[in-house]
Structure 1
Amino acid sequence: MVLLNDVKKAHEKIQNRIHVTPIITSSQLNKHCEREVFLKAEHLQKTGSFKIRGATNAVMQAVAAGASFVTAASSGNHGQAVAYIAGQLGVSAVIVVPEDASRAKIEAIKDYGAEIEYCGLTSDERIPRAKQRAKERNGVYIPPYDDPAVIAGQGTIALEILEQLPNVDVIVVPVGGGGLMSGILCAVKNSKPEVHVVGVEPESANDTYLSLQNRRITAISGTSTLADGLRTTQPGDVTFPILQEHLDELVLVTEEEIKKAFQFLLERTKQLVEPSGATALAAVMVGKVGKPNEKIAVVLSGGNVDLYQISTLLKNDMFNDELSGKKGSKEV
């Protein structure tokens, strides 16, 4: 189990290598949701997502133990984070990615100096390969979520939220493998347990939802959800017990709801947030999370959108009355 002290130590270790991301508000978003919504802007984090927090904590730990080579298995954001911090610390990195990985994320990984290797379409295929590459070169495999050092690093988001919004009532978090959610839970439930923490998954990538319903880790087949960062097939052995013990609620959102949240963020707040990053907000926007007048913090987990994907995400309903109201209103 990851303790609050582990998260605090991670924060001390990584704070000079990451950004303290801002809280963004929008009066139009509050009006739409009939709630006070505060957006934790992790899409403005170094490498474009929250993943740099856990990756930095884990890679720094590996380097301190003597590692000169690291690997990762990633659909993009974790790979970017590992590639970036490995370069900063002067160690080599190989990132094993799915064959359908976002072009933008692949190019970023290369720009950070890491080697790319394509392998399959699911985490079940690429994780063993990344572990094998690490073993071949006496390196260290950096898990995307199922690792105490990674979880502790991700939990530093919660420390910032609690400092920035001391009266927060609800924290809403997208859920993939559970590393981000586990870290936030370890920090919040051991310091301010009255805060209601809600996870959000795509309906078509509902492995954590099913696992919680079944009270055991339950795998699903591959998914093609727009939220490519949430395409895990099952929660982790480390993360799942934390979610079981501490998570207050988990809700599901449709692909259309994710798309509308993406569109709203781009049009009304001028924030380019990837579908995975918009997933938590989608649940708030359709009324699945929170009560009127509650202060709700929503983690926008990443902003690494493939520019070629944007036109697809903007098709249909970009300016429908329900989403946008009257044209020309741009108050943020």
Structure 2
Amino acid sequence: MYIETPLLESRALSQRLGKSIWLKMEAMQPTGSFKARGIGHACSVYMERGARRFVSSSGGNAGLAVAYAGRKLGVPVRVVVPETTSERAKHLIGMENAEVIVHGKSWDEANRFALASCTSADAFLHPFDDPLIWEGHASMIDEVARAASKPDAVVLSVGGGGLLCGVAEGLRRNRWDDVPLVAVETTGAASYAASLEAGERVELPAITSIATSLGARSVCAEALAIAKRRAVTSVVVSDRQAVGGCLEMLDEHRVVVEPACGASVAALDSDVQLLRDARNILLIVCGGVGTNVEQLKRWSAELL
């Protein structure tokens, strides 16, 4: 369902920042994002339990991962996407022979519709709130632990919190519990930052960021619980900074990623004591398929 991805030292970022920056290249998964890990694992388990169809809601990346897994496993797939989903993402999901339904102005509306359409023969694949998905995502840290020394910090993007939960599980099972997490969001999609500040889950009234893959109006409960068990630092960057991070990945590493991923690259320049002090940083290049070079050019012209 997924591949072992390269762990690369970014010489460009390392020299610019004066420290070692290691990139876990999840953008190189068959589906273009880390979602292939957890969702592929969950789909395999649900099929073994007798599921005859997979149903999911997604802004793009999770839906593509379910569609890919379904095709590989020979299980039909229905993916419900919101109106904000790019034509490119819908096309890619359809290429995996999945049924694509567009419903609602946000992921939350698409999710409610997807749940209501499930039958007893279906398995519902939540894009981020499922322990099986976290278990699958944790495999990326297993790979890092086999290949490199313990980092001083892990930088990752947060939408609904599935990646954060998976990375935290991977750190735990590799006995790296003391490694702090830097959770990155964009302004207009920062439900995790709001929740951390409030000490409880906060639901945003709307998503106004271009980083639609970060567009869960509220994070899963486990993401908030993790921040009570281990060190988590929140960083919020602008859409402009996120696009700048995408362009840096394109220029320096010849990889196209979504603003949801570029946000983590941008966070390396934030004025956060943890990142200033860390000498060895692991950055999860979570990827994303909803963006292409032309879209990056348009955003660049508008924002930079």
Same fold judged by TM-score > 0.5?
Answer: yes
2:128 equivalent to 1:145: yes
Counterpart residue number, 2:285: 300
1:310 to 292, 296, 300: 296
1:272 and 1:226 map into 2 onto residues whose CA distance is 16
Secondary structure class of the residue paired with 2:262? helix
Secondary structure class of the residue paired with 1:134? coil
Map 1:262-281 → 2, pairs under 5 A: 262-281=246-265
Residue 72 of structure 1 contacts residue 94 of structure 1 at CA under 8 Å; is this kept in 2? Answer: yes
For the structure 1 residues 124 and 83, does the alpha-carbon distance in structure 2 shift closer, same or farther, using more than 3 Å as the test? Answer: same
1:161 to 144, 160, 185: 144
Residue 247 of structure 1 and its aligned partner are, at CA, apart by 4.1
Bigger mean CA deviation after superposition, 68-77 or 272-281: 272-281
Residue 84 of structure 2 contacts residue 212 of structure 2 at CA under 8 Å; is this kept in 1? Answer: no
1:241 to 208, 225, 246: 225
Q: Could you say what the CA RMSD is over the residues aligned between the two structures, in angstroms?
A: 1.8
TM-score by length of 2: 0.93
2:90 equivalent to 1:106: yes
Residue 243 of structure 2 contacts residue 296 of structure 2 at CA under 8 Å; is this kept in 1? Answer: no
2:105 and 2:151 map into 1 onto residues whose CA distance is 38
**Aligned residue pair count:** 301
Residue 172 of structure 1 contacts residue 299 of structure 1 at CA under 8 Å; is this kept in 2? Answer: yes
Residue 244 of structure 1 and its aligned partner are, at CA, apart by 3.3
For the structure 1 residues 317 and 216, does the alpha-carbon distance in structure 2 shift closer, same or farther, using more than 3 Å as the test? Answer: closer
User: What letter matches 2:295 in structure 1?
Assistant: Q
For the structure 1 residues 124 and 34, does the alpha-carbon distance in structure 2 shift closer, same or farther, using more than 3 Å as the test? Answer: same
Q: Deviations over 1:50-98 (max 9, x none)?
A: 0011111111111001111110000000000000001111111100001
For the structure 1 residues 151 and 293, does the alpha-carbon distance in structure 2 shift closer, same or farther, using more than 3 Å as the test? Answer: closer
Counterpart residue number, 2:198: 214
Q: Deviations over 1:224-243 (max 9, x none)?
A: 31222101100113433234
Residue 292 of structure 1 and its aligned partner are, at CA, apart by 5.2
2:254 and 2:302 map into 1 onto residues whose CA distance is 19
Secondary structure class of the residue paired with 1:189? helix
Residue 150 of structure 2 contacts residue 176 of structure 2 at CA under 8 Å; is this kept in 1? Answer: no
1:170 to 134, 140, 153: 153
Map 1:62-211 → 2, pairs under 5 A: 62-135=46-119, 138-190=121-173, 191-211=175-195
Secondary structure class of the residue paired with 2:235? strand
Residue 35 of structure 1 contacts residue 292 of structure 1 at CA under 8 Å; is this kept in 2? Answer: no
2:80 and 2:178 map into 1 onto residues whose CA distance is 40
1:247 and 1:205 map into 2 onto residues whose CA distance is 22
TM-score by length of 1: 0.86
Bigger mean CA deviation after superposition, 254-263 or 19-28: 19-28
Residue 317 of structure 1 and its aligned partner are, at CA, apart by 8.5
1:122 and 1:293 map into 2 onto residues whose CA distance is 37
Q: Deviations over 1:183-235 (max 9, x none)?
A: 11122135112222211111221111111111111100221312221011001
Counterpart residue number, 1:33: 17
